[in-house]
Amino acid sequence: MNMPPPIRSRLIKACAALQQGGPNILRTPAMKADADAILFSAKSFAAAMLAYYISLRIGLPKPFWAIVTVYIVSQTSAGASLSRGVYRFAGTFIGAVATVAIVPNFVNTPILCSFVLAGWIGLCLFFSLLDRTPRAYAFVLAGYTASLIGFPSVLDPGTVFDTASLRVQEICIGILCAVLIHRYVLPKPMTGLFTGKLLATLRDARRLAGDALTGTPEQNRKDRHQLSLDLLTLQGLATHLPYDPVAATPQRRTLLLIHDRLARLLPLTAEIEERAHYLGIGEGELNALIRDVRCWIASTHPGDGEVTARLMGQARSVQKHLGADIAAPDGPVGANLAGHLAEMIGLLHDCDRLGQDMATRWQVRKVASLHGPKRASGYVYHRDPWMAARTALGAMVAILSGCAFWIWSAWPEGGTAISILGVCCTLFANFDAPVPFVVKYFVGSIYGVLISLVYSFAILPQVTDFAVLVAALAPAFLFAGSLQARLPTTFMALGITLTIPILSGLGPHYTGDFATALNMVIALFAGIGFGAVSMSLFQTVPANRAINRLLRLSRRDVGRRAQGGALNEAYWTSLMIDRTALLLPRLRASGRAHADILDDTLRHLRIGHAAGQLRKTIPQIKGEAGAAINALLTAIAACFHARRLTKPDDLIDLDQRIESLMVMLAGNPHKSRARIVDLLIDLRFALGVKQGASGS
């Protein structure tokens, strides 16, 4: 067919543009996410069908548990899938052993048996909430395995050993198939993802350091808050690295050293920004130092050791010169800023070197040449035993309430409903507000039930061959698997993938029974529905209450450090950064102002750091100065131990104490004088007094 020349010309141009832009379209984040989701779904379905086939071949009576296990274990990366599989196996085995030990010993007392099972589930949940690492999944599994096996066996304890033994076998097959497929079929290593995230975090930290001297304070606050979240994310990813299928993974010591430096940089940049803003821009050796440091941070080759050594020497020289005259108006603050700049230069240089080592040989070449601490501490998790116990007790109350109704009503499917309730109470307990996630799971279960009924009574009766069965199951599982790979729809997808195998009765033979299926559906919805209600009553923590508790614990720990608490500096810094990372999502949920509350946490970190360092100097200072420092720290401890917020009058009193101390130290020739003055300036800025802040 002949085309007019103008149309032919436009068509040729459109084809050329599509040809050039096609590869770029495929590289967009949305297309990449879709491709990753499709690949994950295909691999998970292949693993599920392999596990199902093996279970059928060896004669297991309920092979659908192998399918369920595959979808629970499967993760988007190979390392995470293997680690989750290991944790699931450990938790399943321990939970099965505990169930076998509990149920037969209370054969004639179902109420007491239910109480002991609920206690075991609560204990496992307590330890999982305290752990807060991916390893906590083992505790979760130990709890809800006991729920799945134990409650249906309470009224029939003679079968508990066989049930537990078969369940462990089915789950082990599911774990093995999921791990093999995700590890060896187009594997997606965790190491590449972790390395990319770490290097991006190092670049962001370097930019934050430069912005502390030149950038806008509001943007710097957001960057510091984001850095705290990035450190938590990196720690979670690093847990899976030992399980990753790569030839070499980053050394744990290297990662700990990098973390310690990034953690110290976070409050240090705030301190430098405040000093620079207070002193302003002018002339002199301090401002020349700031310009040199700014240029060094912005340079494309900052890892030169000679340049770093020269800058650090320049900073120490400025610090010594400005700190010689304590009576000068801005001399001590300038000396303090120069000292912090020297520390920041050293930390940034260490991060550059450690990052280069990771990119090449995954190990630290010369630890002795690092400027920061040589001893690695690593990430510290905030753990709250009281809140963990509260949540665990809430789960126990919910389960026991359900058990009381079940035993009183003699409901035949009550054991199944309570087992599902136990799963919900443990699986969603790590959320402050678990009900929205339970609702997503409930919605997914509704879809799963509808699909299962279609399979059970319309499709499966026509299937006589395993290959045909796989083809019939593929559309539902592939679609649900792609949803599971996307964070917003993960729980809804689990409701689908966990419901279809069980409710469809994917066993050795077709056993379609509408009455049995209906009873199972009622038990499923009753368990999830009662779980949502009970968790809203007993396991939900309002965002404001969680925020206030974190702030109160931070204030309490500041007081303890002022009194001489045993927390070392690296531990204290990392703990407070973790609390900052915990505050961010809760602040978004509560609708409260982010910046002010997060700045309070950062100030608590800095006050605790300065107070702890000052407490260590007291044995070195005799006489009136030592007594004054002790009195100052006692006043800080009293101020931050109180449940009430710090009032402006409290800050004025602390400011006057600090000022009197600095005047007293002006004529003191003690060799630790410069160090103490430096810490007093840190404390004064951290309290907000130097900048006219009204409270911490």
DSSP structure string for 618-664? GGG--HHHHHHHHHHHHHHHHHHHSSSPPPHHHHHHHHHHHHHHHHH
Indicate the residue type of 395. Answer: A
For 559-574, how does the pLDDT look when each residue is reduced to its tens digit (9 = 90+)? 889 888 766 888 899 9
pLDDT (0 to 100) of residue 403: 93
Segment (H or E) for 123: helix 110-131
What is the rounded distance in angstroms from the CA atom of residue 61 to the CA atom of residue 283? 83
* CATH annotation of 190-243+252-363: 1.20.58
CA distance 205 to 131: 28
Sign of CA dihedral 643, 649, 651, 657: negative
Q: What are phi and psi of 622, to 5 degrees?
A: -105, 165
Return the higher-pLDDT residue of 661 and 591: 661
More confident call, 569 vs 21: 569
pLDDT in tens, 507-520: 888 877 888 889 99
Q: Are 660 and 692 in contact (CB under 8 A)?
A: no
pLDDT at 521 over 70: yes
**C-alpha to C-alpha distance for 121 and 142, rounded to whole angstroms:** 8
Q: What was the pLDDT predicted at 690?
A: 52
* Whether residue 496 has pLDDT greater than 90: yes
**What pLDDT sits at residue 26?**
45
Q: How many CB atoms lie within 10 A of CB 19?
A: 9
Instruction: State the helix-helix crossing angle for 110-131 and 385-409, rounded to 10 degrees.
Output: 150
What is the signed CA dihedral for 144, 149, 151, 157, rounded to 10 degrees?
-150
Residue-level pLDDT at 344: 94
Least confident of 333-337, 343-347, 368-372, 458-462: 368-372
Contact 541, 387 (CB under 8 A): yes
Taking 50 as the threshold, does the pLDDT of residue 360 lie above it?
yes
SS3 content of the chain, % helix, strand, coil (to 5): 80, 0, 20
Q: How many residues does the chain have?
A: 696
Write down the pLDDT at residue 1.
Answer: 44
Q: Which residue has the tokens 């083992």?
A: 138
State how far the Cα of 670 lies from the Cα of 441, in Å rounded to an integer.
66
Does residue 324 carry a pLDDT above 70?
yes
CA dihedral in degrees (331, 336, 342, 344; nearest 10)?
A: -140
pLDDT tops 70 at residue 17: no
- Please identify which residue in the block is written with the tokens 């009058």: 649
Give the DSSP letter string of 468-518. HHHHHHHHHHHHHHHHHTSGGGHHHHHHHHHHHHHHTT-SSS----HHHHH
Distance CA 687, CA 567 (A): 20
Predicted local confidence at residue 303, as pLDDT: 58
Please tell me the predicted confidence (pLDDT) of residue 77.
Answer: 87
Q: Which of 191, 180, 211 is nearest to 277 (CA)?
A: 211
Question: 485 falls in which pLDDT band (50, 70, 90)?
Answer: very high
What is the model's pLDDT at position 315? 92
Cα–Cα distance measured from residue 268 to residue 209, given in angstroms and rounded to the nearest whole number: 9
Taking the model in full, what pTM does it have?
Answer: 0.88
**Domain-by-domain residue ranges, the chain?**
29-188+383-538, 190-243+252-363, 543-687
DSSP assignment letter at 125:
H
Q: What is the mean pLDDT of residues 24-28?
A: 53
3-state secondary structure of 543: helix
Q: Give, as one character, the DSSP assignment of residue 196.
A: H
Distant-in-sequence contacts of 637-640, Cβ < 8 A, 24+ apart: 637/559, 637/560, 637/562, 637/563, 638/559, 639/559, 640/555, 640/556, 640/558, 640/559, 640/562, 640/607
Whether the CB-CB separation of 403 and 118 falls below 8 Å is answered with: yes
The pLDDT value recorded for residue 336 is 92
What integer best gives the mean pLDDT of the chain?
86
Lowest-pLDDT choice from 76-90, 166-180, 236-250: 236-250
Lowest mean pLDDT among 160-164, 207-211, 352-356, 426-430: 352-356
- Mean pLDDT value across residues 213-224: 79
How many CB atoms within 10 Å of residue 8?
A: 11
Mean pLDDT of 74-92: 89
pLDDT at position 22 is: 47
pLDDT at 692: 39
Q: Identify whether the C-beta of residue 355 lies closer than 8 Å to the C-beta of residue 199.
A: yes
Greatest mean pLDDT among 280-284, 303-307, 331-335, 491-495 lies in 491-495
Question: Token digits for 489?
Answer: 């729809």
The span from the CA of 150 to the CA of 399, in Å, is 12
**Tokens 């801005």 found at:** 330
Please report, rounded to a whole number, the percentage of residues in the chain having pLDDT higher than 70: 88
Rounded mean pLDDT, 393-415: 92
Please tell me which of 472-481, 587-596, 608-617 the model is most confident about, judged by mean pLDDT.
472-481
Average pLDDT over residues 287-295: 90
The pLDDT of residue 222 is 84
Residue type, 665: L
Whole-number pLDDT of residue 326: 60
In this prediction, residue 369 has a pLDDT band, given cuts at 50, 70 and 90, of low
CA pair distance 207, 212, nearest whole angstrom? 9
pLDDT of residue 664: 82
Tokens standing for residue 158: 């003679």
What is the rounded average pLDDT of the residues 411-435? 92
pLDDT tens digit sequence for 167-218: 999 999 999 999 999 988 988 888 888 888 998 999 999 999 999 988 677 7
* pLDDT 10s digits, 645-663: 666 677 788 888 888 888 8
Closest to 68 in 3D by CA, of 156, 205, 215, 177: 177
Token pair 């690295």 is found at: 241
b/e 181-219 (16+ beta carbons within 10 angstroms → b): bbbeeebbbbbebbbeebeebbeebbebbbbbbebeeee
Query: Is the CB of residue 102 less than 8 Å from the CB of residue 116?
Result: yes
What distance in Å separates the CA atoms of residue 618 and residue 629, rounded to the nearest whole number?
7
Question: What pLDDT, in 10s, does the model give residues 27-51?
Answer: 566 777 888 899 999 999 999 999 9
More confident residue, 691 or 589: 589
Confidence check: pLDDT of 395 > 60: yes
Whose CA is closest to 175, among 41, 83, 241? Answer: 83
Q: Is the pLDDT reported for residue 382 higher than 60?
A: yes
Is the pLDDT at 122 greater than 80? The verdict is: yes
pLDDT at position 27 is: 56
d(CA 222, CA 220): 5
pLDDT at 691: 47
Q: Which residues of 373-393 are buried (b: 16+ CB within 10 A; e: fewer)?
A: eeebbbbbebebeebbeebbe
Closest CA to 278 of 325, 212, 225: 212
The answer to whether 459 and 472 are in contact (CB under 8 A) is: yes
Say if residues 633 and 562 touch (Cβ distance below 8 Å): yes
What whole-number distance in Å separates Cα of residue 218 and Cα of residue 243? 40
